[in-house]
Amino acid sequence: MLANVPSAIVIGVDGHPVTVEVHVGQGLPGLTIVGLPDASCREARDRVRAAVMASGVKWPNLKITVNLAPSSTRKTGSGLDLAIAVGVLVANEDLAAEAVAGIGFLGELGLDGSVRTVPGIVPLVDALACEHVVVPVAAAPDAALVEGPHVRPVATLREVIAAASGDEPWPDHDLPARAPRTQADLDLADVRGQAAIRTALEVAAAGAHHLLMVGPPGSGKTMLASRLPGILPGLDRTEAMEVSRIHSAAGISLSGDLIRRPPLRAPHHTATMVALVGGGTDAMRPGEVSLAHGGVLFLDELAEFSPTVLDALRQPLEEGVIRVSRARFSARLPARVILVAAMNPCPCGEAGRPGACRCPDGILARYRRRLSGPLLDRFDLRVDVMRPQVEALLGGEAGERSETVAERVARARLAAHARGVRANADLHGPTLDRWAPFDAEAHAHLTDCLRRGRLSARGLARVRRVSLTLADLAGHDGPLTKRFVSTALALRSDVVLGAGVAA
Amino acid sequence: MTLAEPSLAAVLIVLSELPGVGPATLLECRSHPDPAALLGRVVSGRAHREAILEPAVSAFTRRNKAAGRSADPSEVAAGWARLAIALDPAEELARHRADGRSVHVLGEPGYPERLTEDPVPPALVFSEGDLSVLAGPTVAIVGTRNATRAGRDLAASLGAGLGRVGISVVSGLALGIDGAAHQGLVDAELPASGGRPIGVIASGLDIAYPSRHQRLHRDVVRTGVLLSETPLGLRPTAWRFPARNRIIAGLADAVVVVESRATGGSILTAGEAVARNVPVLAVPGHPTAPASAGTNDLIADGAILARDIEDVLVAVGRGGALDVVGGPVGEGEGDGLRPPDGPDEAAVLAVLGVDALVLDEVLARAGLSLADGSLALAGLEAKGLLERRGAWFERTTREARPGRTTRRSGR
Ligand SMILES: [Zn+2]
């Protein structure tokens, strides 16, 4: 007898439908799984057998063959357990094929017959084109986020058998309480003084420009970075679904609520390459960069990250996507982030201050070498963050509220949309030249900067983009003036490169 | 070793090339009745059994141990032996005399007169350039490597000003104050009657350290003289800098410390000067300025106040600035610079004193918005009135208090 049960696997951030075909027939008793299962998937054999027996059903003493179709894709993980168990029961005629027709099954089996959740419930359910989906109780709230299928939460295999054989109705479980996301976005009003970095954050949000903050320890770089998501536009339904799907694929529970605010991820500098960019196993779990998709990736102490890890960030930052390839398949992990990085200007903490920095030349040179070149070049904004002066902290007027800033940011994004891009950071080459002309005075000033070596040709494009975002924020129309250009230049210091090096 | 008895200079050069042999050890070797015999003991691997050399062997052994390398005196002595065998004294002497360089041994003709009476005179000095410069009046200008723009400007103007009255400038060719003082002097392009640069370096004469001063290194050789007690080819190890500082103090009629942190190397130079009865001058700074913490301490401890070149000239008995060559003493203030444009630029310039400020500090103190402040900074930078170094903005002052020098020097 043959049975077909729909299920799914997740690779990267996408679900892929898998049909579990089970044949029970004469031959040497045992269970064989074919169709490119990996080790964790092959272990299903023992889990399924124990779970079936624990559910009070006699295990067929026959030759059982499980084929996972399509056989071209590597099957990984334990999420097919439940589908395999159901397939065996149908093929052995313990359950009627009609009773489970049109139902997809997702979940791992415990040896005691319990049904456990697996990572990636959102993409998994999304991949199943079924009217009903049976999922573990814990995964039900997240599964319900996918529009379409009717979700049936189960706690044990026994419940599935009872319902499918008509002995009992499908169970009605109390679902885990939906914890609505009360992400209290931190307010920019708490940042007193520090006009330059406040503007830099606003510009980064409005133009999706990458931002490097340079300052000594204790200058509040983390506190500043954590306020960036609060001034970014919220995620629309499509973006929210995409971001939620990524988090689900990474095994993070969504508690039944879509992620509607731009995420902030702040991996530690000891994070491995896999933890950061993803991949690793055949499941190709998304890493921190993908988890920050649609939001902010904050790398504190940038100079402490391993050079290999930083190097691996360059391509994703450029293309907004990470491509991971294995022998048989490849995956695309979304990675469109605003990168905010922070670092000390020099090891002694005096920030290279003339007359105060105690760093020997050799140490400074080594410190700068670690970060030189291509990665630093990704930052449109490079701003110095010094310890706020006491008077600014105490007496200084509170900054503008995030809400007010966010309104300007949203307007600037609209201006970018009118140019056919998501944000100004996406403008390049001739398109950038077309949308961001300079007036005569600005042109003269930039020419002077280029001539004096204060600006490089590549830096010019970045200054141009930032100037355009500044103009958008100010509601300015027409050619960019010297006012915007000089502000953009001020927000692009040669902090790390030292004196006399073009920005 | 060659059969012919090597000269004292040749023996001392080989001994000075042994790792761990410093000025004190070399001076003792120089005083030994038979330095060649000492070298013979080194060659036979018994340096650690020689009373004069034993402390140097032990010290080097301890350094090795601290660095996690072999820590046995006999091994160090064996290493010395291998090195000494490989070095031919006559060839070493020839090598150090090639390419216009000279070798001077304490007590022999040609050795710098000023150093013979030194408490710890170098047993061996290598020179390149015109050694006769040492006979004239000299002032040392020293200070921190990481100097402020104002400090470097003052050092440069002092260097040039001293040169104009025929006083040569002794310095260490380090980044910051040292380099600025010599650069100022070189840039003044004085005739032969002017003061000249005297560079005392911690590396071998053939190594420009820091490499950024390669050109200045050449200019000092060309227009003045470069001195070192380090053999050719050796990079400066940490202990060589304080040793070098004592030579700077020993060669100067007065030492001027322009900027120094509380524990900077120039404070050590000032100490060496005090030990040699050489007057110490220090440029005062704001109490909160880290770059002036050391010089303010010196003044509190009795150093002479150096507000401008006049103070320095008075200290060396040349008050009144006679015999000015190549232009007046205080020349070069604010020349060719356009004035600030509009109230914003004036406000920014007003808050930029000697201390460097970062963008947010400039904005807060000048009371300007980011856009207005950026515009003003851009204008001032284009006019050359301010300079951006890393995150820091500095005013490009030529002199902290223009006017006084020119008035008194009787232009
Ligand atoms: Zn430092």
Quote the ligand 1 centre to A274 CA distance (angstroms).
Answer: 33
Full DSSP string of B339-371: PP-HHHHHHHHHH--SS-EEHHHHHHHHT--HH
Closest residue in chain B to residue A470, using alpha carbons only = B371
**Quick one: pLDDT at residue A494?**
66
- Domain A188-418 top-level CATH class: alpha beta
The answer to whether the Cβ–Cβ distance between B356 and A489 falls below 8 Å is no
- Judge: B377–A214 Cβ closer than 8 Å, yes or no: no
* Per-residue model confidence as pLDDT tens digits over B122-136: 999 999 999 999 999
pLDDT tens digit string along B303-335? 999 998 999 999 998 876 555 665 554 444 444
Question: Strand A14-25 to strand A2-11: parallel, antiparallel, or no bridges (unpaired)?
Answer: antiparallel
- Shortest CB distance from B356 goes to which of A194, A354, A454? A354
Across the interface, whether the CB atoms of A386 and B148 are under 8 A apart is answered: no
Beta-carbon separation of A490 and B378 below 8 A: yes
Comparing A318-322, B153-157, B174-178, the range with the smallest average pLDDT is A318-322
Output the six-digit token pair for A487.
Answer: 């502000």
Could you give the count of Cα atoms lying within 13 Å of B367 in the half-sphere of its Cβ? Answer: 4
B345/B404 Cα distance (integer angstroms) = 26
- Quick: pLDDT tens for B8-64: 999 999 999 999 899 999 999 999 999 999 999 999 999 999 999 999 999 899 888
In this complex, the residue of B210, B290, B370 whose CB is nearest that of residue A490 is B370
Contacts of B3 (CB under 8 A, 6+ apart): none
Q: Which two tokens stand for residue A222?
A: 């983390």
Residue A364 pLDDT > 80: no
- The residues spanned by each domain of chain B are 8-95, 113-315, 342-395
Q: What pLDDT is attached to residue B400? A: 38
pLDDT of residue B2: 46
Return the pLDDT at A499: 37
Residues on chain A touching B374 (C-beta within 8 angstroms): 483, 486-487, 489-490
Kindly report the nearest CA distance between residue A272 and chain B, in angstroms.
Answer: 31
d(CA A359, CA A351): 10
pTM of the model: 0.75
Q: How large is the C-alpha radius of gyration of chain B?
A: 24
Q: Which of A252, A44, A292, A283 is nearest to A139 (CA)?
A: A252
CB contact under 8 A, A355 and B146: yes
Q: Determine the distance in angstroms separating the CA of A424 from the nearest CA of chain B, rounded to an integer.
A: 20
Query: pLDDT tens for residues A110-156?
Result: 999 999 999 999 999 999 988 999 999 999 999 999 988 999 999 99
- Of A28-37, B215-224, B289-298, B369-378, which range is least confident? A28-37
Q: Do the chains contact at B378 and A483, CB–CB below 8 Å?
A: no
C-alpha B205 to ligand 1 mean position (Å): 29
Q: What is the CA(A347)–ligand 1 centre distance, in A? A: 5
Q: Among residues 353-372 of chain B, which lie with CB inside 8 Å of chain A?
A: 355-356, 358-361, 363-364, 369-371
Q: Which tokens belong to B84?
A: 């000494």
Q: Which two tokens stand for residue A303?
A: 């100079």
Residue A195 pLDDT exceeds 80: yes
Residue A446 has a pLDDT of 92
- CB distance A195–B374 less than 8 Å? no
Test A493 with B360 for CB contact under 8 angstroms.
no
Residue A65: CA atoms inside 13 Å, Cβ hemisphere, count? 11
Q: For B376, phi and psi rounded to 5 degrees?
A: -65, -45
- Average pLDDT over chain A, rounded to an integer: 87
Query: Is 3.40.50.720 the CATH classification of the domain at B342-395?
Result: no
The domain ranges of chain A are 2-164, 188-418
Which H helix or E strand runs over A341? strand A338-343
CATH 3.30.230.10 corresponds to the domain B113-315: no
Contact residues, A window 379-408, toward B, CB-based 8 Å cutoff: 383-384, 386, 388-389, 391-392
Length of chain B: 411
Q: Is A2-164 a CATH 3.30.230.10 domain?
A: yes
ipTM associated with this complex: 0.79
